Amino acid sequence: MKKRIFFMLAAIGILQVNTVAKEKEDYKISKKPIEMSILAIQNGRVFDEKWSVFEEAFKDTNVKLKSATSKNLTDEMQAFNLSISSGKLPDIISLSFPDKLESLGMDGGIIPLNDLIEKHGPNIKKFFEKYPRYKMDAVASDGKIYFIPDYYDWYGMRASQGLFIRKDWLDKLGLKTPETMDDFYKVMKAFKEKDPNGNGIADEVPYFDRTTEFADKELVGLFGAEFGFYVDNGKVKYGPAQERFKEAMPEVIKWYKEGLIDSEIFTRGFQGRDYMLRNNLGGMTFDWFASTTAYNTDIELKNKIEGFEFVAIAPPEYKGKRYAPDARTTHLGGWAITAGAKDPVAAIKYMDYWFSDKGYELSNWGIEGDTFVRDENGKKMFTDKVMKADGKTPLQVLRDDGVQFRIGALQDYEYEKAWGNPQANEWAEMYVKNNYVVDPMPTLKYTPEENRRIQKLNSQLDMAVKEMSQKWILGADDFNKSYNGFIKRLDSIGLKEALEINQKAYDRFVGNK
Ligand code: CA
């Protein structure tokens, strides 16, 4: 009996050893180590083979990536153009501009991945089947896949910015959080007139913004009006030519005229938020959750302004709906295999590795026991090495290990949540859960010919809309008198053609499901 139990245990033991060994073996792409060159520069940071994330991937797969560019070349487009003109493409190119990869693909410099994925990319295939939307983002206008996108966790977190308000000012004036557009206006008015900063001067700026791009877009956006092309029930429309824009813009003009919007909103600049908050002048803004929430834990600011509290609130309701006019895109760039690649099959297998459970974890969390650990329920959290580094933010520590470098992979929102400000996370989640976030226009794929036309039309349309909205808001032109002329100008630029091109591209995009 004893013997039999021993035998059985031994057998189980052997079995376990075998499974572990097999699992490790599964990721191996080649028996002998192979090297592939990569052009990859993200935010000025050149790919480094010594990052622990990529060393671990090498251990698993036997594929080592080596940067094809020098450490001193930090501009990715410059490096990309140099590489093309030299005629010596690396095996793999990672770029934040997928359209560049796709157009190089149509010229023969990048190889289509459709067949390679079908034959050698089981994890990517499964991923595309599970998320048709993500696949749609990868397909070019000719139906081919030239790059694997670097996906945001779009389903987990698509909110990026929200409406912030000085809660302590509301309390001081005995006001409630604005629920409707009407309340919103009244609160701005009270901020302007009732001296919430208590210095006896009407110096408050009820609404401010540090970017000109968002100054006008966001404000009309709170009414559900669009500033560019968007899709309504499968039909591509142009926001400024729609009724909702005609409702929203006069309100924004009125707010500006009454001094409720920063009079210098178009010229204030990127430090504007800092200036408005540190000098106790600004009441509301629409900005990134993480960086804006951080003002609440700024010791210097808290010491200077007693009771300072800048909180995110739901966008005010307009005609029964709340609109947050800003969302993350589904992806940001991606990577591709060039026509010069020595071993495209090994390259796609390596790309596929990042969609395996191990690769997914590695790209988001780094190395278990080093950058992250698991609690008894299996929930992952970052270690002190990441969270308590001297003089470095958690994200900087992670980036120094190669975590979240731009490769073709899926982001795990939990990763961001684990190092992010819990309060900011909570507010961003409130926006997602309540469906405030207006879906962004997908990144459409154009044929080379369409692309030439749409680039030209877009830049002229954008210019006309920006120019006129500034004129209207600043009071240099009367909205009611000039709106029809503005529409005529859009028509003469070629709005109709731009709508047709976008509709075609959108229909193609939907057809890629
Ligand atoms: Ca004041």
HEC profile of 87-153? CCCCCEEEECCHHHHHHHHHCCCECCCHHHHHHHCHHHHHHHHHCHHHHHHHECCCCCECCEEEECC
What residue has token string 């000098």?
279
Is residue 218 within a helix (H) or strand (E), and if so which, with residue range?
Answer: helix 212-221
8-state DSSP, 476: S
Confidence of residue 25 (pLDDT cuts 50, 70, 90): low
Ligand 1: distance of its center to the CA of 276 in Å? Answer: 12
What is the per-residue pLDDT across 65-98, written as a single tens digit (0 to 9) for each? 999 998 889 999 999 999 999 999 999 999 999 9
Is 238 in contact with 223 (CB distance < 8 Å)?
Answer: no
- Ligand 1 centroid to residue 192 C-alpha, Å: 8
C-alpha of residue 131 to centroid of ligand 1, in Å: 52
Residue 5 pLDDT exceeds 80: no
Q: How far is the CA of 217 from the centre of ligand 1 (A)?
A: 28
Distance from Cα 193 to the centre of ligand 1, integer Å = 8
3-class DSSP state of 23: helix
Please report which confidence band the pLDDT of residue 215 belongs to, taking 50, 70 and 90 as the band edges.
Answer: confident
Q: How confident is the model at residue 24 (pLDDT cuts 50, 70, 90)?
A: low
- 3-state secondary structure (DSSP) of residue 491: helix
pLDDT of residue 17: 46
Q: Which residue has the higher pLDDT, 459 or 12?
A: 459
The domain 26-157+329-366+401-411: what is its CATH number? 3.40.190.10
Phi-psi region of 404 (alpha: psi -120 to 50; beta: other; left: phi over 0): left
**Ligand 1 centroid vs 325 CA: distance in angstroms?**
30
Give the domain ranges of the chain.
26-157+329-366+401-411
Q: Please, which pLDDT band fits residue 18 given cuts at 50, 70 and 90?
A: very low
Question: What confidence score (pLDDT) does residue 389 get?
Answer: 94
Q: CA nearest 65: which of 88, 104, 99, 39?
A: 39
Determine how β-strand 92-95 pairs with β-strand 34-42. parallel
pLDDT of the residue at 13 = 46
What is the whole-number distance in angstroms between the Cα of residue 191 and the centre of ligand 1?
A: 9
State the distance from the centre of ligand 1 to the C-alpha of 281, rounded, in angstroms: 7
pLDDT value, residue 12? 47
Q: What is the number of other CB atoms lying within 10 angstroms of the CB of residue 13? A: 10
Question: For residue 19, is pLDDT > 80?
Answer: no
For position 3, what pLDDT does the model report?
46
State percent of the chain over pLDDT 70.
Answer: 95
CA 82 to chain centre: 27
SS3 per residue for 404-435: CCCCCCECCHHHHHHHCCHHHHHHHHHHHHCC
Q: What pLDDT band is residue 218 in, cutting at 50, 70 and 90?
A: confident
Beta strands 282-288 and 321-322 are unpaired
pTM for the full model?
A: 0.88
Ligand 1 ion: nearby residues, β-carbon < 5 Å? 195, 197, 199, 201, 203
Nearest to 323 by CA among 384, 244, 412: 244
Closest by Cα among 330, 332, 328 to 95: 332
